[in-house]
């Protein structure tokens, strides 16, 4: 095998993932609808391609990292999509976070065309993508899982086979519901702490050593200062955009309705992310929800752009 990877979707996550593939002996042939994203691929040694066909022609693996289920279906099943052009034997890996139904439909279309595919959404967000320490939650057959792991090893540390097609997405949606809820809870806690006269650094130092500690606070602290790498120190540039979090919180509510699972708190959290997007802050990091809750959201959207 030649270790060629066709990588589709070179955004906040896709770009650092490609960097690790290139560093670990894979040759990346990338495609993105954004010319800016494509041009950044050159800087890390990858080959930008003008079409999906060009990217997948010689691929041993196809990895996609695009926003939603609609994009994934277009990428694989579209008129000029992956399934039309990829060579026999290639392993298909979708790392995007999407709805369970789309993951199953695309997996079935791949199987009908003779390809093995997994849904392999990731956790750890952009810091883990940059560090090559992503966690992959994998849905698909045992055989597809085993074949998909080699390129995932270049980008991450943990690869968990959750169950059949769609189970990776089910797991990821549960996890992100917690992250979205945590950020709202942290923002309410920090707002209350400020109004009680406590300073951010003290609150951070105590909570991270106490029962309120969590990953979201340690990595995405929504106030500038305590975590130098958090988006709050960089004008709330993502990171993980508020519109992506709204998408994931909505996925959680859709999945909860299907499963008759009570998720009242997550339902309330959706409204906060919806307000951010409705007021033009969807491209800022989701941690800007702190500014909304603390009454500091600027009337004009911040300058933060999706990178």
**Residues within the interface to ligand NAD (CB under 6 A):** 8-14, 31-34, 37, 65-67, 71, 74-75, 96-97, 122, 125-126, 240, 244, 248, 306
Residue 70 falls in the annotated catalytic set: no
Measured between alpha carbons, how far is 88 from 69 in angstroms, rounded to an integer? 24
Nearest to 152 by CA among 113, 111, 115, 123: 123
Which residue's CB is nearer to ligand NAD, number 33 or number 259? 33
User: How far apart, in whole angstroms, are the C-alpha atoms of residue 14 and residue 25?
Assistant: 17
Q: Nearest approach, Cβ of 305 to ligand NAD (angstroms)?
A: 10
Token pair belonging to 26? 């894979």
Nearest residue (beta carbon) to ligand NAD: 11
- The nearer residue to ligand NAD, 146 or 307, going by C-beta atoms, is 307
Closest distance to ligand NAD from the beta carbon of 120 (Å) = 11
Query: Minimal distance in Å, beta carbon 38 to ligand NAD?
Result: 9
Q: How far is the CB of 206 from ligand NAD (least distance, A)?
A: 27
CA distance 226 to 217: 10
Query: Cα–Cα distances in Å, from 233 out to 11, 130, 285, 307?
Result: 21, 18, 11, 16
Q: Strand 61-64 relative to strand 91-94: parallel, antiparallel, unpaired?
A: parallel
Tracing tokens 């968990």 back to the chain, one arrives at: 160
Helices 35-43, 14-23: crossing angle, 10 deg rounding: 20
- Active-site pick, 70, 84, 153, 172: 172
Which residues have a Cβ under 8 Å from the Cβ of 284 and sit 6 or more positions away? 231, 236, 237, 238, 241, 242, 276, 301, 302, 304
Beta carbon nearer to ligand NAD, 96 or 107: 96
CB of 220 to ligand NAD, least distance (A): 9
If the CB atoms of residues 52 and 193 are measured against ligand NAD, the closer one turns out to be 52
Nearer CB in complex with ligand NAD: 146/182: 182
- In angstroms, the CA 140 to CA 131 distance is 26
DSSP summary character for residue 260: T
Catalytic residues: 172
């Amino acid at each position: 095998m030649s270790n060629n990877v066709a990588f589709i979707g070179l955004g906040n996550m896709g770009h650092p993932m490609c960097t690790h593939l290139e560093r670990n002996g894979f040759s990346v042939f990338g495609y993105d609808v954004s010319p800016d994203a494509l041009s950044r691929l050159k800087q890390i040694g990858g080959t930008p391609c003008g079409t999906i066909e060009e990217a997948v022609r010689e691929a041993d693996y196809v990895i996609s990292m695009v926003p939603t289920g609609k994009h994934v279906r277009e990428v694989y099943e579209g008129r000029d999509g992956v399934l039309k052009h990829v060579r026999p034997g290639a392993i298909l890996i979708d790392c995007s976070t999407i709805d369970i139904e789309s993951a199953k439909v695309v997996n079935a279309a791949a199987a009908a065309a003779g390809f093995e595919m997994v849904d392999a959404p990731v956790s750890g967000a952009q810091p883990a993508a940059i560090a090559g320490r992503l966690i992959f939650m994998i849905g698909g057959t045992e055989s597809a899982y085993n074949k998909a792991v080699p390129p995932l090893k270049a980008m991450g540390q943990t690869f968990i086979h959750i169950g059949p097609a769609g189970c990776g997405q089910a797991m990821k949606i549960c996890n992100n519901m917690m992250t979205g809820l945590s950020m709202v809870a942290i923002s309410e806690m920090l707002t209350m702490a400020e109004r009680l006269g406590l300073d951010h650094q003290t609150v951070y130092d105590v909570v991270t050593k106490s029962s309120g500690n969590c990953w979201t606070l340690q990595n995405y602290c929504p106030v500038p200062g305590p975590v130098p790498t958090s988006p709050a120190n960089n004008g709330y540039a993502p990171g993980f955009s508020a519109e992506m979090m709204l998408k994931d919180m909505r996925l959680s509510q859709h999945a909860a309705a299907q499963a008759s699972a009570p998720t009242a708190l997550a339902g309330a959290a959706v409204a906060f992310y919806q307000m951010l997007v409705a007021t033009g802050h969807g491209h800022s990091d989701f941690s800007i929800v702190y500014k909304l809750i603390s009454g500091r959201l600027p009337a004009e959207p911040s300058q933060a752009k999706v990178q």
